[in-house]
Chains A and B, each alone.
Chain A
Amino acid sequence: MALKINDNGTDRNMTAEEEAAHLAWAEQAQAEVEAEAEAQAAKQAARQAVLDKLGLTADEAQALLG
Chain B
Amino acid sequence: MAYTSSQIVQAVPTGINSALVCVKAETSFSAVTSVTADSVFTSSYTNYLVKLIFNTSTTNEVLMKFRVSGTATSTNYNRQRLVFNSSSVTTDQLTAQTSINLGGTNGAFEQSNDINIYNPQIATATNVYCLSQNNFANYTTGNAGLIFSANQSASTAFDGIEWSVATGTFTGKYSIYGYSKTV
Contacts and interface: CB of A to CB of B under 8 A. Distances in A.
A35 to B, nearest CB: 9
Contacts of B87: 58
Interface residues of B, number: 29
A28 B77 CA distance: 13
B63 A39 contact: no
A33 B29 CA distance: 23
Contact of A3 (B30, B33, B36, B101): B33
Contact of A8 (B31, B36, B61, B99): B36
A9 B164 CA distance: 14
B27 interface: yes
Contacts of A11: 29-30, 32
B18 interface: no
Nearest to A35: B94
Interface in B156-183: 164, 166-167, 169
A44 B60 CA distance: 20
Contact of B98 (A4, A7, A29, A36): A29
A41 to B, nearest CB: 11
Interface in A35-56: 36, 39-40, 43
Contact of A26 (B29, B35, B97, B167): B167
A8 B36 CA distance: 5
Nearest to B104: A33
Contact of B90 (A14, A25, A43): A43
A25 B29 contact: no
B82 to A, nearest CB: 13
Given A32-B98, A40-B90, 16 more contacts: A3-B33, A3-B34, A4-B33, A6-B29, A7-B36, A8-B36, A8-B37, A11-B32, A14-B33, A25-B164, A29-B98, A29-B164, A30-B167, A32-B94, A33-B60, A43-B92
Interface of B: 27, 29-38, 60-61, 63, 72, 74, 87-88, 90, 92, 94, 97-99, 101, 164, 166-167, 169
